Amino acid sequence: DIQMTQSSSSFSVSLGDRVTITCKASEDIYNRLAWYQQKPGNVPRLLISGATSLETGGPSRFSGSGSGKDYTLSITSLQTEDVATYYCQQYWSTPYTFGGGTKLEIK
């Protein structure tokens, strides 16, 4: 199974900060990487697919990058509504696997 590691389980950040969340796969996943946002008490929501493609309706302050084993999700200027847990997920091979999540909190 491909293991997905998000190095930080939580971040405490200030409004307006630039935030970068990292995700590392245990092997090359050829950009088959999605990011999901889960707000407290809500359902996971697809944010980014193919490592870099922002879903329709996704705020432009979100972006994804990376290749091979290493990927990042960036938020250029953190807003209150971005408080959530972010998960990466590989869909290169089954079983599809998720990272442990990175929770963003406001300082």
Q: Which residues bind another protein (CB under 8 A)?
A: 32, 34, 36, 43-46, 49, 55, 85, 87, 89, 91, 94-101
Whichever of 25 and 85 has its CB closer to another protein, that residue is 85
Whichever of 16 and 95 has its CB closer to another protein, that residue is 95
Those residues with Cβ within 8 angstroms of residue 49's Cβ, 6 or more apart along the chain or in another chain:
33, 34, 55
| Distance of closest approach, residue 96 Cβ to another protein, in angstroms | 4
Our measurement of the distance from residue 50's CA atom to the centroid of its chain's CA atoms, rounded to an integer in Å, reads 12
Whichever of 14 and 94 has its CB closer to another protein, that residue is 94
DSSP annotation string for 81-103: GG-SEEEEEE-SSSSPEE---EE
| Distance of closest approach, residue 74 Cβ to another protein, in angstroms | 19
Can you tell me the distance from the alpha carbon of 96 to that of 104, in angstroms, rounded to the nearest whole number? 24
